[in-house]
Amino acid sequence: MKKTLFTIILLLSTLSMVGQEKEVDAISGASSQIKKTGKLEKALSRLSLGGYGEAVMTRNFYSQSFNRYKMPENYKDDKSHGRFDLPHVCLNIGYDFGKGWTMGSEIEFEHGGTGSAVEIEAEEAGEYEAEVEKGGEVNIEQFWINKAFWSGKFNIKAGEIIVPVGYSNAYHEPNQFFTCYRPEGEATILPNTWHQVGLSLWGRIKDWRYEAQFLSGLNSESFTAEDFAHYGATSPYEFKVANNFAGVLRIDNYSVKGLRIGLSGYYGYTFRNTLRTPGSQYEDVTGALGIVALDFTLNRWNWIVRGNVDYAHLSDADAISSYNQANWTHHKYQDGNPHHYTNIGSNALAYGIEAGYNVFSQIHKLKEKSGKMFVFGRFEHYNSMASGTYKSMYKYTKRYRMAFGVNYSPIKQITIKGEYSYRFFDKPNNNGLTSDSPLYTQPYNNEPSISLGVTYCGKFL
């Protein structure tokens, strides 16, 4: 009897100990899971995801021929043409490592990115052939590491960074301009969006934000008559040639409520910033490029008004044009030549202003909702050949553009855009000559268009 009782007590004790161990294991497992969840939440709190994108449909009521400016009279009756486009689709990824260290990156797909494939061609005896499926570009527009000091009053940033010269480079997201495409003048004469590998010192002190950058210089072999320095920041190689260097400075002021005023500048040599070595006759040519830009944004009283003025001067423009023409003659039949080799102007300029009013602010029922409807107008003028020896050959580079339309935002991150635009040119002075005279200059055909776009811009995480 005693043995039986002892056995029962021992069995119950064993079961009790096993139960306690399972309970401890369960508590320990739950605690471990909580710790893992806490680490994940902490990591996600340091991670940021965002982006922006644009889809645009346009009908252009003018000729699409690339020769329409050389003999405009031959193209004045051409039919209209349409275009569907994805100007920019970007993904931003950032992370806060702590202790003032952060990382930022942006992958940009311009015009939908690129597409290529290898196919077997039945019509060519089954040969393998590389096919270009679609045009476009894919870029690492930003990738930088930043160290902040004194609560952000001073920062050091290094990597692929945005060059904030002009309004459209510093503020290039689709909710920062009314038109379906970025402001045309700045996007023509300057790289856009301008980004390069470099070093940036920046910060904000009270109502002032400052930024100074050290970069590789632009390449004058990629400058053109129609686009001035637009392609100068690109490189056909796996690296950016840095035989020359450049500096950038930008200052923004926010002293007045709702108003930001910015001044930016660039200076650097552009000649010899390539793998090709010019001859001794170009020994003194530097291609010094100076750019100064003033821009502002007023966001107050249900109005948004934005404006910019940009002026650029290129020294040795005639010598560089001569060099480019000589290289074009020598390399015009060479496959894969990445450069343009055109004449270049010594000065370029662009200015523009746009204003939009939120009409929903005057409608009580709509004012209570989160949506906004801006009715806007824009005017701009730009000229990539404002002065220079070859100015008379490129009169069509002097352009004006007006646009009118609406921006409807049902929520903050989404904007639907519609616009009518009208690009026009100076009329030639023929001094009474008739159109049948050999000295008569034909006027350029004006270029109206209608566009509809949808955009998003915001943080996902």
Higher pLDDT, 63 or 366: 63
Element (H, E) at 367: helix 364-367
Give me the pLDDT at residue 428, please: 79
* Per-position b or e across 12-40, b if 16+ CB within 10 A of its CB: eeeeeeeeeeeeeeeeeeeeeeeeeeeee
Whether residue 249 has pLDDT greater than 60: yes
Q: What mean pLDDT is predicted for residues 59-68?
A: 92
Q: Which of 62-66, 131-135, 340-344 has the lowest mean pLDDT?
A: 131-135
Whether residue 124 has pLDDT greater than 50: no
> What is the three-state SS of 141-201?
EEEEEEEEECCCCEEEEEEEEECCCCHHHHCCCHHHCCCCCCCHHHHHHCCCCCEEEEEEE
69: nearest Cα among 314, 291, 393: 393
- Residue 128 binned pLDDT confidence (cut-offs 50, 70, 90): low
All domains in the chain, ordered by first residue: 53-85+150-459 (2.40.160)
Rounded CA separation 316/324 (Å): 12
∠ CA 137-419-443, rounded to 5°: 85
Rounded CA separation 291/223 (Å): 14
Higher pLDDT, 206 or 391: 206
> Helix, strand, or coil here: 297?
strand
| Beta strand pairing call for 127-134 and 115-121 | antiparallel
What are the tens digits of pLDDT across the range 149-180?
998 899 999 999 999 999 999 999 999 999 99
What are the tens digits of pLDDT across the range 275-306?
878 878 888 899 999 999 999 999 999 999 99
Give me the pLDDT at residue 204, please: 95
**Contact criterion met (CB below 8 Å) for 246 and 216:** yes
Higher pLDDT, 43 or 11: 43
- Residue 248 binned pLDDT confidence (cut-offs 50, 70, 90): very high
CB atoms within 10 A of CB 194: 26
Q: What mean pLDDT is predicted for residues 190-203?
A: 95
Give me the pLDDT at residue 300, please: 95
> What is the separation, in whole angstroms, between the first and last Cα of the chain?
71
Token pair for residue 207?
């109502």
Token pair for residue 436?
């049948």
Give me the pLDDT at residue 125, please: 53
CB atoms within 10 A of CB 95: 14
What are the tens digits of pLDDT across the range 138-156?
888 999 999 999 988 999 9
Whether residue 311 has pLDDT greater than 90: yes
Q: What mean pLDDT is predicted for residues 267-271?
A: 95
Could you tell me the pTM of the whole model? 0.85
Give me the pLDDT at residue 333, please: 47
Q: For 24, phi and psi rounded to 5 degrees?
A: -65, -45
Q: Which of 238-247, 411-420, 422-431 has the lowest mean pLDDT?
A: 422-431
What are the tens digits of pLDDT across the range 445-454?
999 999 999 9
Give me the pLDDT at residue 111, please: 85
CB atoms within 10 A of CB 176: 17
Q: What mean pLDDT is predicted for residues 223-243?
A: 89
| Beta strand pairing call for 195-205 and 127-134 | unpaired
Rounded CA separation 189/192 (Å): 9
**Contact criterion met (CB below 8 Å) for 427 and 16:** no
Token pair for residue 151?
């609560």
Give me the pLDDT at residue 217, please: 94
| Percent of the residues in the chain that have a pLDDT greater than 90, as a whole number | 60
| Cis peptide bond N-terminal to 193, omega within 30 | yes
What are the tens digits of pLDDT across the range 342-395?
889 999 999 999 999 999 988 877 776 778 999 999 999 999 999 888 888 889
Whether residue 196 has pLDDT greater than 70: yes
Give me the pLDDT at residue 238, please: 83
Give me the pLDDT at residue 149, please: 95
- Amino acid at position 141, single letter: E
Element (H, E) at 350: strand 347-358
Round the average pLDDT of the chain to a whole number and report it: 86
**Contact criterion met (CB below 8 Å) for 221 and 270:** no
Give me the pLDDT at residue 442, please: 80
Whether residue 334 has pLDDT greater than 80: no
Quick one: how far is CA 238 from the chain centroid? 21
Whether residue 401 has pLDDT greater than 60: yes
What are the tens digits of pLDDT across the range 10-26?
555 555 555 555 555 65
**Contact criterion met (CB below 8 Å) for 219 and 229:** no
